[in-house]
Structure 1
Amino acid sequence: MDAQDILTRGQVAQLIDHTLLKPGAVPSDVEALIDEAHELGVLAVCVSPSMLPVDTDGLVIATVVGFPSGKHHSLIKAAEARLAVDQGADEIDMVIDIGAALSGNSDAVLQDVLAVREACGPDTVLKVILETAALTDEAIIAACLAARTAGADFVKTSTGFHPAGGASVHAVELMARTVGGALGIKASGGIRNAEDARAMIEAGATRLGLSSSRAVLDGFPG
């Protein structure tokens, strides 16, 4: 059976990080995001760290670290993660040093993730953004393995801000084959309708990062 046959609107909603990471976002935009998240019944909201703390009334709170380039020193990412957790974040989505991954420096990727893992503590969910559209298959595999070794909880496709593009079915399948079952797989970037979401879930995604959550959910049965 495929995802179209078995997934309901409510089930998909519980895979969604309802996301607002636009640089021009203001507090009223975050309030609207949270209101919509409750209306849609999603699992989590994901906002920029400068918008914390926020009151989500029971929703999971995710934020981003080293975003969107990943070209921050690991100690800066660690400090950003620690502050975010202190301000109420339940989940941290960190961007790796994409250049390190492209050059085959898996040790640098490992140390980067370890720094954030140690900073945010064992009770915080850590998602590692690979920016898969900018990486080779070999680099994706190596980065997934480094994230697993470092104690991450998820690997994630994309920031949604890279010119190379966002999530792809191929990348999600590759990530799922590499660490699926050991880590969650978050597909994010360019998923704008139910067809896109179904394809990602069928490929192995266990979480979806969406800014178009309503449009996606409207394509699933109630």
Structure 2
Amino acid sequence: MTRTEEQWNADVVENVHQVLRDGDRNAETPTTSLSSITQPSDTLFSSCIDHTLLKPDATPAQIDVLCDEAIRYGFKSCCVNGTHVKQVADRLKSSTATAIPCAVIGFPLGASTTAVKVFEATDAISNGAREIDMVINIGLLKSKSYSAVFEDIHAVAQACQSQSIPLKVILETVFLLDEEKVAGAFIAAEAGAAFVKTCTGFNGGGANKEDVGLLYNAVRYKNGEVKVKASAGIRSFEKCVEMLRAGAERIGTSSGAKIVQNANPSEATGSY
């Protein structure tokens, strides 16, 4: 359904009101299969980790290590910048791994044009990406240009859906007020996102359980069709558990191997 700007404003205001009506960021206690995880050795835990390396100085050798760790520990994906997607896809394909390649687009500012984001997504998918994480246009959201935010996300979602690729939408919550977080999550859900995600980690701040709970409640009207990914600043199993109990069903972290190794100290070597 095509909405006018006035309709978008009315629908966003209604959704924000419903989520924040009691001033309670956890209006509903999340109940997911992951909220019962108590040990990092649980296979459900490893299967919710997006093993991440997005540093600008990441080398091909480091990308290989990322892939090997994802294979070893059974992580869900290797999340990388577009330039590394083909390398990741080839290395994972050569193994019996269940891990998949994931690419970020519009990263980390979200300020690319929609056409560029669509091209990035299409290019990453052609190189083997099986999930896409995109950064929204933060300025448009903050200026309440809801129709433009929707069109930006929807265009990328359509490019992904044509190849049956899930899209995760990064809201960059560090820049947003609570009502803006709810608005962004609602618009992303309406635009076809499979996940709404907290942060890039490149602009300060990070994920917290309050924001995860807020996003969970913002998209729960979709009855599980849209999930929450917590990302940025998650470096311990305890922090992961916080996120999962708040409603996250995916964790983005560059510390996945270290978290699992701490549960198996004999495997831990060096620092990461």
Q: TM-score range by the shorter chain?
A: over 0.9
Any gaps of 5 or more consecutive residues in structure 2? 1-30, 265-272
Equivalent in 135, 146, 151 of residue 192 of structure 2? 151
Q: Distance in 1 between matches of 2:236 and 2:66?
A: 18
In the TM superposition, 1:67-146 aligns within 5 A as 67-122=107-162, 123-146=164-187
Any gaps of 5 or more consecutive residues in structure 1? none
Letter of the structure 1 residue corresponding to residue 134 of structure 2: M
Determine if contact 2:107/2:134 at 8 Å carries over to the other structure.
yes
Equivalent in 43, 46, 70 of residue 10 of structure 1? 43
Q: 1:7 to 1:37 in 2, by over 3 A?
A: closer
- 1:208, distance to aligned residue in structure 2 (A): 0.4
Query: Which structure has the bigger radius of gyration?
Result: 2
Determine if contact 1:194/1:218 at 8 Å carries over to the other structure.
no
Q: Aligned pair count?
A: 220
Once superposed, what is the RMSD of the aligned Cα atoms?
1.8
- 1:80, distance to aligned residue in structure 2 (A): 0.5
Aligned residue for 2:241? Answer: 198
**Secondary structure in 2 aligned to 1:53?**
helix
Determine if contact 1:154/1:185 at 8 Å carries over to the other structure.
yes
In the TM superposition, 1:154-169 aligns within 5 A as 154-163=195-204, 165-169=205-209
Q: Distance in 1 between matches of 2:209 and 2:146?
A: 24
Aligned residue for 1:46? Answer: 79
In the superposition, the TM-score normalised over structure 2's length comes to 0.77
In the superposition, the TM-score normalised over structure 1's length comes to 0.93
Deviation per residue, 1:104-126 (Å, 9 max, x gap): 22212111101111222340010
Moved more, 167-176 or 95-104: 95-104
Determine if contact 1:194/1:215 at 8 Å carries over to the other structure.
no
Aligned residue for 2:26? Answer: none
Determine if contact 2:40/2:260 at 8 Å carries over to the other structure.
no
- 1:186, distance to aligned residue in structure 2 (A): 0.4
Q: Distance in 1 between matches of 2:253 and 2:39?
A: 21
Letter of the structure 2 residue corresponding to residue 193 of structure 1: S
In the TM superposition, 1:26-45 aligns within 5 A as 26-45=59-78
Moved more, 17-26 or 113-122: 113-122
